[in-house]
Structure 1
Amino acid sequence: MAAIQDVTDANFDEVVLKSDLPVLVDFWADWCGPCKMIAPVLEQIAAEQEGKLTIVKLNADQNPDTVRRYGVMGLPTLNLYKNGEVVKQLVGAKPKRVLEKELEEFL
C-alpha cells in the first residue's frame, strides 16, 4: 500500500516538481475539518493508483512559502503537478468518485 508522504518547503521541488509521476499535493491544516474528511479518500486513491500517481501532503501552516508560491487560498486545496507544472487544482473536499474523475485524464 502506498503511503502518503509529507512534504515541506525544503523538499517540495525535489519530491514534487522533479517527480517522473504525476503528483497530487494535498494542502491541509490540523484545524481544517474538510481536510480530515478527505484524508482517508486520498489514502485509498494512493493505494489504488500506486505506480501511476504519487500523493503527498503539505501542512499549510508549517510551510507558508509553498502555499504563497502557488496562491493557495482555501483548504483543502489539491494541486496536481505533472512535469513540474500545475495541471489541475481542486478546492474543497470532494467525494472519491469526483476526485477519480478529475484525475483520470492525467493517469
Structure 2
Amino acid sequence: MSDTADDERAQIRERKKRELQRRLENGGDPSEDGAETPAEPIAIEGQGHLQDVVDSHDVVLVDCYADWCGPCKMLEPTIESLAAETDAAVAKVDVDAHQRLAQQLGARSIPTLVLYVDGEPVERLLGAQDRATLESLIERHG
C-alpha cells in the first residue's frame, strides 16, 4: 500500500475521531454534526462521491443496481423505505454508469448490497433480499 493511501486513511480516522468527540460533547444528537441521514437513497456520481457518503455516515447501505435488472426493480421499494425509516444512509450505484466503481465494490452480479460501518465494508449480499434481512443487518451493525 502506498504512503499516500496510508496518509489518507490516517486523515479519515482522525476526522472520524473528531466527529465522534463532537457528537459526544453535543449529547449524541446527529443534527449537531451536520451529517443527518438522508430520507431518500443517494445517487452516487463516482468513487469520490461514494467515499464522501461513507465518510459522512456511520452506517451506509450501498445498492449496486441496473435499470434493466428485474430483481433490482423488485428491491427498489425496499431500498427506498430503508432510506426513509432507518438510521442508515442508503446509496445507489448504477453499475452501467459506474462500471469501475461497481467492480471495486465487488458487484459481479446484481443486485449487490454492501454495508459500510464506520467507513469500512463489513457485509456483502448478492441478489434481491427481503426487508427483514436488510433491517436486521442494519440494526446488527448500527
TM-score normalised by L of structure 2: 0.68
Aligned equivalent of 1:19, options 52, 56, 64? 56
Distance (Å, rounded) in 2 between the aligned partners of 1:43 and 1:82:
19
In the TM superposition, what are the counterparts of 1:36-47 in structure 2 within 5 Å?
36-47=73-84
- Pair 1:5-2:42 in alignment: yes
Q: Secondary structure at the match of 1:57?
A: strand
Distance (Å, rounded) in 2 between the aligned partners of 1:63 and 1:53:
22
Greater strand share, structure number? 1
Distance (Å, rounded) in 1 between the aligned partners of 2:82 and 2:50:
21
Task: Decide whether the 8 Å contact of 2:59 with 2:138 is kept in 1.
Answer: no
The residue aligned with 2:11 is none
Distance (Å, rounded) in 1 between the aligned partners of 2:113 and 2:100:
16
Deviations 1:79-104 (A, max 9, x none): 01112211111111111112212222
Aligned residues: 104
> Matched residues, percent identical?
38
Task: Decide whether the 8 Å contact of 1:19 with 1:83 is kept in 2.
Answer: no
Task: Decide whether the 8 Å contact of 1:29 with 1:60 is kept in 2.
Answer: yes
Superposed displacement of residue 43, structure 1: 1.1
* Moved >3 Å (runs of 4+): none
Greater helix share, structure number? 2
The gaps in structure 1 that reach 5 residues or longer are none
The residue aligned with 2:106 is 71
Q: Secondary structure at the match of 2:115?
A: strand
